[in-house]
């Protein structure tokens, strides 16, 4: 038994090293003074200074943030409605709706991105920020619904019935009882939706219009033009730091949700 546990521990450590070692190396070489990607000469912030003085990067960051915020708001509203519908009501086609909710999570992202592009072209919708938001929301709503549905599955509705018995109407019951109970799940789902939108490259690449770029597109276009460079390492590290920040908030929200 001890040998088995030791083997599993070593195997787990090796897997994590395989997954995260390239990211760690990229972060380390983003502080390299020289342009070399193979030899670390000295610690320097020159590449971060180059990135932070780049107006295009800040515009792309702004686009990523506000698009992510809009997508998060839309996904939470639609996801909450779908979660409440599938957990509280029995209706014709409910099994089909359950399957449709999971399709955006299951199918390959590039397939979904291509289908969105074909739909926009067929409907003659000009590509731009709106098409990016629609594409991200179509993907994020499914994740939000799954998170909120898991929270509602163990929800005791007798609390709502007690509130209604004491004279609260439907809106008062929702905002004073249901919404506070769902709040930790809403926060976790919102942070997940924002992170997925902020990091998305494939759907953004297929659905964006001329002149509108997000931070992942800047990273991708920089790598396509000149390959891997130290300033690209700095830009990627900056993007990862923002994603990790929201991931930490999401984990804390999930812990709070399990403790409620």
Can you give the residue ranges of every domain in the chain? 47-259
Measured distance CA(197)–CA(243) in Å, rounded: 10
The answer to whether 124 and 213 have CB atoms below 8 angstroms apart is no
What's the pTM value of the predicted model, to 2 decimals? 0.78
Paired tokens of 162: 């007690």
3-state secondary structure of 43: strand
> Each residue of 47-64: pLDDT tens digit?
888 777 878 878 888 898
**Distances 248 to 8, 109, 242, 245, 255 between C-alpha atoms, Å:** 27, 25, 10, 5, 11
The vertex-62 CA angle with 141 and 23, nearest 5°, equals 75
The vertex-28 CA angle with 238 and 197, nearest 5°, equals 25
Is the pLDDT at 142 greater than 80? The verdict is: yes
pLDDT recorded at residue 228: 61
The answer to whether 142 and 105 have CB atoms below 8 angstroms apart is yes
- How much of the chain, in percent, has pLDDT values that exceed 90? 13
Measured distance CA(133)–CA(212) in Å, rounded: 12
Q: Which of 6-10, 172-176, 231-235 has the lowest mean pLDDT?
A: 231-235
Residue 199 exposure: Cα atoms within 13 Å on the Cβ side: 20
Ranges assigned E (strand) in 109-256: none
Q: Give the CATH number of domain 47-259; options: 1.20.1630.10, 1.10.3720.10, 3.90.550.10, 1.10.645.10.
A: 1.10.3720.10
Paired tokens of 245: 């920040």
3-state secondary structure of 32: strand
Mean pLDDT for all residues in the chain: 82
């Amino acid at each position: 038994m001890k040998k088995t546990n030791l083997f599993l521990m070593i195997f787990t450590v090796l897997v994590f090293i395989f997954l995260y070692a390239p990211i760690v190396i990229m972060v380390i070489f983003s502080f390299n003074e020289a342009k070399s990607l193979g030899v670390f000469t000295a610690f320097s912030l020159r590449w971060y200074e180059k990135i932070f003085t780049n107006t295009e990067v800040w515009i792309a960051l702004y686009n990523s943030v506000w698009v992510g915020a809009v997508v998060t708001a839309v996904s939470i509203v639609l996801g909450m409605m779908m979660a409440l519908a599938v957990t509280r009501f029995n209706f014709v086609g409910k099994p089909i709706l359950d399957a449709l909710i999971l399709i955006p999570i299951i199918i390959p992202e590039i397939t979904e991105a291509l289908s969105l592009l074909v739909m926009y072209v067929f409907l003659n919708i000009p590509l731009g920020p709106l098409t990016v938001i629609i594409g991200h929301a179509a993907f994020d709503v499914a994740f939000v619904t799954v998170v909120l549905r898991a929270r509602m599955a163990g929800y005791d509705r007798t609390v709502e019935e007690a509130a209604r018995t004491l004279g609260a109407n439907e809106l008062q019951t929702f905002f004073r009882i249901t919404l506070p109970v769902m709040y930790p799940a809403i926060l976790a789902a919102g942070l997940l939706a924002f992170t997925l939108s902020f990091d998305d490259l494939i759907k953004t690449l297929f659905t964006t219009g001329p002149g509108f770029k997000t931070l992942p597109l800047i990273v991708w276009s920089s790598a396509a033009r000149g390959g891997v460079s130290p300033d690209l390492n700095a830009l990627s590290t900056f993007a990862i730091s923002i994603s990790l920040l929201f991931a930490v908030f999401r984990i804390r929200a999930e812990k709070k949700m399990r403790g409620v």
